[in-house]
Amino acid sequence: MTRLAEKIDISELAAPGVRELTPYQPGKPIEELEREYGLDDVIKLASNENPLGPSPDVLRSLSDNLGELSRYPDGNGFVLKQALCRRFDLDPGQITLGNGSNDVLELIGRAFVTPDNEVIFSQHAFAVYPLVTRALGARAVVTPARAWGHDLDAMREAITGRTRLIFIANPNNPTGTWLTRAALEDFLEQVPPHVLVVLDEAYYEYAADPATGIADYPDGLQWLAAFPNLIVTRTFSKAYGLAGLRVGYAVSHPGVADYLNRVRQPFNVNHLALAAASTALTDSNHLQRSVAMNATGLQQYYQAFEQLGLDYIPSAGNFVTVRVGPAAEINDQLLRRGIIVRPVANYELPEHLRISVGSEKENRRCIEALDAILQTL
Ligand SMILES: *Cc1c(COP(=O)(O)O)cnc(C)c1O
């Protein structure tokens, strides 16, 4: 063992793109912080999870399905695809199911991107886009942000003959910025046919809600008939409160879905996740409650930040990114008080923190802690 270790430089063995990767940094788990600091009332506002949890109908469906665990799941996800088709008026051939939508983002890369290709995404955009791109050995083309969000003109100008994929998050994580229907439609019309556009709508349900006050927010599914190079991805992790089960999906031209399904592992979505997601789609009241609670919580943060004199980026998601100045120091102080938020220095936002909208009480605790910490600085 030791003698072998002397001879092998493992980094020499890693694929060149993988060698350059830094692992995705997830939000700190509650239990980990409780162990580290000896706390017992930790709250987590770091991973954009639904503070209400899943629908009670989903919990019933999960217990009803426990007897099936010795069986492989339905590799075609028939029931969930039917539920999605009813809900969004789709054809099952358009749908690719994933173990979370991150799985789908990776399938898209594996099916369509080679090391000769370029992949375009924006500065401050979701961390999984560079991970997918670099792991494949493709060239990442990062366009500078405009007003914290995607600069579609810059993205269009970055297209070359080698471009195969453009990732767009609408709204974007971690900045919460969104693109209007008019801007995106204009962009899609100008993208050449050799380029696939991934429209990541992980926060669609929040952004589309009128109570959030987001004007002219588009539903990407409406464009699929006109643009066969468009892939829309969505998830059950956020507004549906199922982050722990891992289920998301892509909707695309059936020809694109066919290739995604060729690289997909046959049982990538587990039985409980399939059952839970199908049921979640039927409880529109729970979704409505979740989205309404988020709209109220965002206002709670906006008002507090205005009182504290902090600049924040208005958000179409279930989180808000705020400029606090010495973010690493403030994050550390928040952790000591049992509050987990997300530092975003790895997104080139070293002075900001991203805070997920929790329950009214969790939000209040976070705001009061932030206020107290800021006074000591
Ligand atoms: C949270 C998030 C996802 C969803 O990830 P899952 O794998 O479905 O849990 C996708 N895209 C963005 C921009 C996100 O913030």
Pocket lined around ligand 1, Cβ cut-off 6 Å: 48, 100-102, 126, 169, 173, 200, 202, 235, 237-238, 243, 248
pLDDT given at position 1: 55
Q: What is the pLDDT of residues 305-355, one digit of tens each?
A: 999 999 999 999 999 999 999 999 999 999 999 999 999 999 999 999 999
Lowest average pLDDT, out of 2-11, 198-207, 284-293, 351-360, goes to 2-11
Residue 30 and residue 44 in contact, taking contact as beta carbons nearer than 8 Å: yes
Query: Residue 2 above 70 pLDDT?
Result: no
Residue 150: its pLDDT value, please?
A: 98
Confidence of residue 274 (pLDDT cuts 50, 70, 90): very high
Rounded to a whole number of angstroms, the distance between the first and last alpha carbons of the chain is: 51
For residue 339, the model assigns a pLDDT of 97
Whether 6 shows a pLDDT value over 90: the answer reads: no
3-state secondary structure of 149: strand
Provide the pLDDT confidence category of residue 49 given band limits of 50, 70 and 90.
very high
Supply the mean pLDDT for the chain: 96
pLDDT of residue 215: 85
In 99-147, the DSSP E strands lie at 118-122, 139-143
CA of 202 to the centre of ligand 1 (A): 5
Residue in 24, 48, 102, 346 to alter for ligand 1 test, most ligand atoms within 8 A of Cβ: 102
Q: Please report the pLDDT score of residue 96 as a whole number.
A: 98
Protein residue whose Cα sits closest to atom 1 of ligand 1: 202
Q: Is the dihedral of CA 32, 340, 240, 289 positive or negative?
A: positive
* Structure tokens belonging to residue 115: 């090391």
Local confidence band at 5 (pLDDT 50, 70, 90 cut-offs): low
Residue 169 Cα: closest atom of ligand 1: 13
CA atoms within 13 A on the CB side of 85: 12
pLDDT digits (tens, 9 = 90+) for 176-195: 999 999 999 999 999 999 99
At 213, is the pLDDT very low, low, confident or very high (cuts 50, 70, 90)?
confident
Residue 217 has pLDDT above 90, yes or no: yes
How far, in Å, from the CA of 133 to the mean position of ligand 1? 16
Taking CA atoms only, the protein residue closest to ligand 1 atom 15 is: 173
- Confidence (pLDDT) at 81: 98
- How does pLDDT run across 114-169, given as a tens digit for each residue? 999 999 999 999 999 999 999 999 999 999 999 999 999 999 999 999 999 999 99
Q: Give the burial class of 109: count Cβ atoms within 10 A of its Cβ; 0-12 exposed, 13-18 middle, 19 or more buried.
A: buried
Distance from residue 246's CA to the centre of ligand 1 (Å) = 10
Cβ-based neighbour number of residue 14 at 10 Å: 12
Ligand 1 atom nearest 102 alpha carbon: 7
